[in-house]
């Protein structure tokens, strides 16, 4: 390994991505031509002021929405030009998503929430799930339901669920935004270690310079471009 980012295989490649939203008679151009690559196994923090388009970019990468122009490519798959069903299938099978709201399934136990995504993706690996459960400190809580967990515990379940299928890329939008500073730091370190362990790439939106500094690289969104 040479260590430089240029030498990493580009797992995600974004080219000339634009997106605008209608606002009454006007259109607001949120993304004006984003170019960004993320290497295999690389972890990147995406920062930028409120309203700069971080969530918009994350949604386009996850295929939750489509750009006006430009492309989002994972290897040979151009997710931005797939139809809705194709984007949903790619997201389900190859991406891990963690949002500020934990989005756990209230009627399922911790164990079933953890396994849910991997089973849907046809990528359930009991050994990896056991390791995740232990490393996330959830082994004693597997029979509980989400409402019987603290915020930090719920967030750890959401992270485990997203990593259980061994995604190509873990995408996180302010994953620790609802947690106090000490808990946020602890959860972030755990995520970083688990991402390293699973070998996936990691892209995280955050407002926190402190958390951003924990990742390999920081990119900043300003005026619709990566500064």
Ligand X SMILES: Nc1ncnc2c1ncn2[C@@H]1O[C@H](COP(=O)(O)OP(=O)(O)OP(=O)(O)O)[C@@H](O)[C@H]1O
Contacts with ligand X by CB under 6 A lie at 21, 28, 30, 48, 50-56
**Nearer to ligand X (CB atom), residue 8 or residue 54:** 54
Q: In the complex, what is the shortest distance from the CB of residue 16 to ligand X, in angstroms, rounded to a whole number?
A: 18
Q: How far is the CB of 68 from ligand X (least distance, A)?
A: 13
Kindly tell me which of 13 and 220 has the beta carbon lying closer to ligand X: 220
Supply angle C-alpha 167, 169, 174, rounded to 5: 115
Contacts of 123 (CB under 8 A, 6+ apart): 93, 164, 165, 166
Going from the C-alpha of 185 to that of each of 72, 188, 203, 214, the distances in angstroms are 30, 5, 17, 9
* Nearest residue (CB) to ligand X, 55 versus 178: 55
Cα 44 to Cα 4, 47, 157: the distances in Å are: 14, 10, 22
Q: How far is the CB of 207 from ligand X (least distance, A)?
A: 6
Q: Which is nearer to ligand X, 54 or 156 (CB)?
A: 54
Whole-number minimum distance, CB 20 to ligand X, in Å? 9
């Amino acid at each position: 390994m040479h260590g430089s980012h240029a030498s990493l295989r580009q797992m995600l490649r974004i080219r000339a991505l634009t997106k605008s939203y209608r606002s009454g008679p006007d259109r607001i151009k949120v993304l004006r031509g984003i170019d960004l690559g993320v290497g295999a196994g690389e972890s990147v923090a995406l920062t930028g002021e409120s309203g700069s388009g971080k969530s918009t970019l994350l949604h386009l990468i996850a295929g939750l929405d489509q750009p006006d122009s430009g492309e989002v490519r994972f290897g040979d798959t151009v997710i931005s030009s797939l139809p809705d069903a194709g984007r949903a299938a790619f997201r389900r099978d190859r991406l891990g998503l963690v949002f500020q709201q934990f989005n756990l399934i209230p009627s399922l136990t911790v164990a079933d929430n953890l396994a849910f995504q991997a089973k849907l993706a046809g990528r359930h690996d009991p050994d990896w799930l056991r390791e995740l459960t232990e490393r996330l400190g959830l082994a004693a809580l597997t029979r509980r339901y989400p409402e019987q967990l603290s915020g930090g515990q719920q967030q750890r379940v959401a992270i485990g669920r997203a990593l259980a299928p061994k995604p190509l890329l873990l995408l996180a939008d302010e994953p620790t935004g609802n947690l106090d500073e000490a808990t946020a730091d602890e959860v972030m370190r755990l995520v970083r270690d688990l991402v390293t362990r699973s070998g996936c790439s990691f892209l995280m939106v955050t407002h926190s310079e402190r958390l951003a500094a924990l990742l390999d690289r920081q990119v900043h969104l300003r005026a619709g471009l990566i500064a």
